[in-house]
Amino acid sequence: MRVLISVDMEGIAGVVHSDDIQPGHREYERNRALLTAEANAAVRGVYAYAADAQVVVADAHAQFRNLLPELLDQRAELLRGTPRPNGMMAGLAADIDAVLFVGYHGKAGASRSVLAHTTSGRVIADVRCNGSSLGELGLNAALAAHHGVPSVLVSGDDTVAAEAVEGMRCVVVKQALGARAARMIHPQEACRRIEREVPLALADRSAVRVRRFDGPVRLEVQVHRPHMTEHALLVPGMERVDGCTLRYEALDFPTAYDIVELIAVLGAL
């Protein structure tokens, strides 16, 4: 069995503020250890289910250099650094049997969600694929589904759990009280719950029902400010629907996924 674990940071137990997740802040350095501990809990859960498993852990927050390599479970491979193919989903391939999401958060615009955003909080206000609004969980699960891979578990706050699809197990480590406040369980308890749920999620992976986007995808990306559209309009085929909304007719979902990332990068210039 091959399992990909995509690890973000906003959704881990203990995190509530932007200082908690930004390099250079004292809180960030402490939370890197908590982040690595939750990743390790997921790794242990995989090996509890399949002793001969192969596990790939994709560091998926900011510049993808947050997990502490020397503290990561030695049985797992680590994907670190950016840019790279598939971004948060680096390592995804047709031979992966399941995907786990650790430390995830609600999508941009989600009310009462801790540090909610989609791809880039500075740039993107909403992402719609064929009319459906998707956050990072939805986009990443749909990319996995395109390759025939089920997304079986997500951990984070209660608002990202609300975005989970049918059959996906959820580990709620904190209840959001606002964008920078939450009621949370102890970090060690968060790890215990993640480790406990992972084998159950892998055993039930055939029950997951993630929406697949087959064929062309009409992508619409709303940004926060009109000037954030200007560089993206240099991309052939990109249209501006209104002052803050870009539209792109993608040949398939992986193309749409890459275009979202490109808009986020160009919008920040």
**Per-residue pLDDT tens digits for 1-53:** 999 999 999 999 999 999 999 999 999 999 999 999 999 999 999 999 999 99
Average pLDDT, the chain: 97
CATH assignment at residue 145? 3.40.50.10780
Q: Is residue 181 part of a domain?
A: yes
Q: Is residue 266 part of a domain?
A: no
Q: pTM of this prediction?
A: 0.97
DSSP characters over the chain: -EEEEEE-STTSTT--SGGGGSTTSHHHHHHHHHHHHHHHHHHHHHHHH-TT-EEEEEE-STTT--S-GGGS-TTEEEE--SS-TTGGGTT--TT--EEEEEEE-PPTT-TT-TT--SS-TTTEEEEEETTEE--HHHHHHHHHHHTT--EEEEEEEHHHHTTPPBT-EEEEEEEEEETTEEEE--HHHHHHHHHHHHHHHHHTGGG-BPPP--S-EEEEEEESSGGGGTTGGGSTT-EEEETTEEEEEESSHHHHHHHHHHHHHHHT-
State the residue range of the domain holding 70.
2-116+136-207
| pLDDT at residue 111 greater than cutoff 90 | no
pLDDT digits (tens, 9 = 90+) for 145-184: 999 999 999 999 999 999 999 999 999 999 999 999 999 9
pLDDT digits (tens, 9 = 90+) for 77-97: 999 999 999 999 999 999 999
pLDDT digits (tens, 9 = 90+) for 191-244: 999 999 999 999 999 999 988 999 999 999 999 999 999 999 999 999 999 999
pLDDT at 138: 97
pLDDT at 228: 98
Beta bridge partners of 155: 171
User: 124-129 and 217-223: which strand pairing?
Assistant: antiparallel
pLDDT at 211: 85
pLDDT at 48: 98
How many structural domains is the chain composed of?
A: 1
pLDDT at 241: 96
Q: Is residue 228 part of a domain?
A: no
Q: Is residue 85 part of a domain?
A: yes
Average pLDDT over residues 98-116: 95
pLDDT digits (tens, 9 = 90+) for 112-127: 899 999 999 899 999 9
Q: Is residue 218 part of a domain?
A: no
Q: Is residue 241 part of a domain?
A: no
Q: Is residue 196 part of a domain?
A: yes
Q: Is residue 248 part of a domain?
A: no
pLDDT at 6: 98
